Amino acid sequence: MSQPHIAIIDWTTSPQGDPESAIERQIIGAVARITRTLCETDADLTDEVTTADAIIIWHNMPLTANGIAKLQHCRAIIRNGVGFDSVDVVAARERGIAVCNVPDYGTEEVADHAIALAMALCRQIMPLDAEAKQLGWHICITPKLRRISTLTFGIVGLGRIGTATALRAKALGFRVIFYDPYLPNGADKAVGIARIRTLDELLAQTDVLSLHCPLNQETHHLIAERELALLKPSAFVVNTARGSVIKKAAILAALREGRIAGAGLDVIEDEPLRTAEEAATPNLIVTCHAAFCSVESKIEMRSTSARIALAAVRNEPLENVVNDVCS
């Protein structure tokens, strides 16, 4: 019997792995042959990739129904990260291919990043830095500098990362509220924060809005023109979840027109930014879809993905299956 093949697919525009795939090789050893291929889209899949027994795929590299149809005997597609909206999970299920993710890595990093963006906005770190580097002290952004203990931090989605963010915000002195229609009663008491029953009510109360929900049909453009209009003009928006949870055109227009005070976006719809005009949007911080990044989190993520891929080629039960394919 030929040696199983595990294909790692990285994104040409911004590769995240290393050419040697050192972490994956340490986990998988001699059990399977490992290859690494850079692709922009799944139109770039090579014949070698399509014959893989398991695939590890990095974020931003889409795997559509067309790409999945090319896979000849793949048992599992492992998304190197939490989100799996870049993979057509329905098409994979129809082919009997399990789609797995890594839901528990990087929780600390993303929560820390959300808080860092919130604090940068509330304390206007970026404009103050720019002013200081002009060799002057004309502080024109004083009206946006806020006292944390007077502000309400509104969270959408109280999962692992949302909870970690809530605890950090609470420790800093924010009043913390959340909206999550899928949590059972009592979740608010466990964390010691206030539950809000509708998104509209949360938006009306919020000074800092932080998004921590997955991207799906329900949450696509969850925050668009109508929702942004419900925020206070002094409110800040932070997104470390998925770009398309916020309608890009709507939030950029709101920033240009001064209808919200600022935004810190680690992720953005149709990323990266596409034009100089988008990049010049006032009161906008953008951080390259990097909230998950740390030396430690990437080791944890890649080790988990490799462990799942190893289980796939050994025909063992799979962890973190998200598309109901029996593992």
Catalytic residue, from 5, 59, 175, 242: name it.
242
Distance CA 160, CA 192 (A): 15
Strands 236-239 vs 262-265: parallel, antiparallel or unpaired = parallel
Indicate if 242 belongs to the active site.
yes
102 backbone dihedrals φ, ψ, rounded to 5°: -125, 85
Distance CA 175, CA 163 (A): 14
Question: Is-contact 101 320, C-beta < 8 A?
Answer: yes
Q: Which of 111, 148, 100, 122 is nearest to 262 (CA)?
A: 122
User: Omega of the bond prior to 272 within 30 degrees of 0, cis?
Assistant: yes
Q: At what angle do helices 160-172 and 107-122 cross, to 10 degrees?
A: 40
Neighbours of 107 (CB within 10 A): 20
Q: How many angstroms separate the Cα of 325 from the Cα of each of 54, 98, 103, 320, 321?
A: 14, 5, 17, 11, 7
Q: What sign has the CA pseudo-torsion 164, 169, 171, 176? A: negative
Query: 309: Cβ–Cβ under 8 A, 6 or more apart, which residues?
Result: 6, 24, 28, 32, 54, 55, 56, 76, 78
Indicate if 289 belongs to the active site.
yes
Catalytic residue, from 75, 212, 289, 302: name it.
289
In single-letter form, the type of residue at position 223 comes to: I
Indicate if 271 belongs to the active site.
yes
Question: Is-contact 295 104, C-beta < 8 A?
Answer: no
If 0-12 CB within 10 Å is exposed, 13-18 middle and 19+ buried, where does residue 207 land? Answer: buried
Instruction: Give catalytic residue positions.
Output: 242, 271, 289
